[in-house]
Amino acid sequence: MSMSTISNFLNGRPVDCLNFMEICDRLGQDHKEIADFGDRDRPANPLPEASEQIEEREIATYIERPPIEARCTETILQPGSLLRIKGSKRMGKTLLIDRILARATKANYRTASLSLLLADGAVLNGLDEFLRWFCIVVSRQLQLPAQLEEYWEPELGSSYNCTLYFEENLLGQIDSPLVLALDEVDRIFSAGKIAGDFLGMLRAWHEKAKSRPLWQKLRLIVAHSTEVYVPLDINHSPFNVGVPIELPEFSAEQVQDLARRQGLTWSQQEVGSLMDLVGGHPYRLQRAIYCLKNGEVTFEQLLKTASTAAGIYSSHLRGLLCNLRRNPELATAMKQVVETDKPISLETTQAFKLQSLGLVVLEENNVRPRCNLYSQYFRERL
């Protein structure tokens, strides 16, 4: 560890999460008492470094996964429809949503898109705060005045107020259908009652469309990264109605197509070697393509150093490791997963949270590491 890192720590300047924990351990300090790590029950979303954000913008080439795109377009054209999109982190959910909304715009529909990652702690203090925030954000996207006070009566309850607001101030004010996309919905899964009431309200809206022409204007898109571990009544859940879409990893042919679009010519053997290591996950493949395209590493070096501190995935892997170390139960569960060559059974919530982070794949009632890269890295560090 460098002296500059230690100096930053001692002077209260930002340091890498893992370095912070290591320094605290060596000083005999409890890192949880020194820094606020927020909600430990919910894995944080590791943020990409600036270089990773740049590379994702540069090669954010959309690769179609037929027949998913056609099915999504057909669904939102149906009155009162509900589209459920599931895929682990960085699988392309947001790109798919953008594509769907672009097609909706061409059909002269109104659109609004909201990532629930933008809901901060203050917004998640209670259902009323969350739903008022929700209404204001959607109103602004539709360029309509947020006239909450005219519709919000405490005696009626937050869900009713929100429903009345949408019915009279939003859907009642537009002449065309509205496609409302909610991304990163699992952001609220750990918010107990908020999640249950909000998701139940979405289900109620979908049911209204069966008999109320006004609600047929609304077409919902709900995107999430993990299985739903919020206890919901089957009759109040939006996750057992509508059209389900689960994003698969890229096939070998799609990987070759992605590389070709970036000017790289890979043999079937090279594609196979890379996929044996990182699977068909779009982000991990894009990271490899970016570094190879810019001459940062050779193909052989990439394969040899991928799971090491010198490899191209070091920042990505350290972010995931930091998440696990902030959640000791998840770290223990992941350690069990990588220490065996066969799928194993985990407690349901742990399995779903590891899946949300993109670390494991669910196979019936068991889980396995999502790729050999993760097996190699976490086997040595957990």
Partner residues linked to 368 by β-bridges: 361
Across the range 102-125, mean pLDDT stands at 95
| Per-residue model confidence (pLDDT) at position 15 | 57
User: Chain-wide mean pLDDT for the chain?
Assistant: 87
**Alpha-carbon gap, residue 208 to 216, rounded angstroms:** 8
pLDDT in tens, 320-368: 999 899 999 999 999 999 999 999 999 988 998 898 888 999 998 899 9
**Alpha-carbon gap, residue 39 to 58, rounded angstroms:** 33
Domain CATH for 236: 3.40.50.300
In a domain, residue 352? The reply is no
Whether 189 and 290 share a structural domain:
no
In a domain, residue 54? The reply is no
Write down the residue that tokens 């991990």 correspond to: 284
Cα angle for residues 200, 40, 1 (degrees, 5° grid): 145
Whether 75 and 189 share a structural domain:
yes
- Residue 85 phi, psi (nearest 5): -110, 125
In a domain, residue 113? The reply is yes
Whether 82 and 179 share a structural domain:
yes
pLDDT in tens, 267-319: 999 999 999 999 999 999 999 999 999 999 999 999 999 999 999 999 999 99
In a domain, residue 57? The reply is no
User: Is 0.85 surpassed by the pTM of this model?
Assistant: no
Whether 113 and 260 share a structural domain:
no
Whether 129 and 86 share a structural domain:
yes
| Per-residue model confidence (pLDDT) at position 356 | 80
CA 331 to chain centre: 20
pLDDT in tens, 14-48: 555 555 555 665 555 555 544 544 444 444 444 44
Give the domain-ending residue among 283, 305, 327.
305
In a domain, residue 179? The reply is yes
Whether 276 and 236 share a structural domain:
no
b/e code 132-169 from CB counts within 10 Å (16+ = b): bbbbebbbeebeeebebeebbeeeeebbbbbbebbbeb
| Element containing residue 112 per DSSP (H, E) | strand 110-115
**Alpha-carbon gap, residue 21 to 32, rounded angstroms:** 9
For residue 228, what pLDDT band results from cuts at 50, 70 and 90?
A: low
| Per-residue model confidence (pLDDT) at position 27 | 54
Q: Residue 72's domain spans which residues? A: 68-246
In a domain, residue 341? The reply is no
Whether 187 and 89 share a structural domain:
yes
255 has a pLDDT exceeding 70: yes
Partner residues linked to 243 by β-bridges: 83
Whether 160 and 271 share a structural domain:
no
**Tokens linked to 327:** 């959640």
In a domain, residue 259? The reply is yes
CB-facing half-sphere around the CA of 301: CA atoms within 13 A: 10
Give the domain-ending residue among 284, 305, 326.
305
In a domain, residue 379? The reply is no
Residues 6+ apart with CB under 8 A from 332: none
Whether 107 and 215 share a structural domain:
yes
Whether 240 and 108 share a structural domain:
yes
Whether 231 and 156 share a structural domain:
yes
Domain count, the chain: 2
DSSP letter for 92, please. S
307: left (phi over 0), alpha (psi -120 to 50) or beta: alpha
Helix ranges (H only) for 262-341 are: 268-278, 282-293, 299-305, 314-326, 328-338
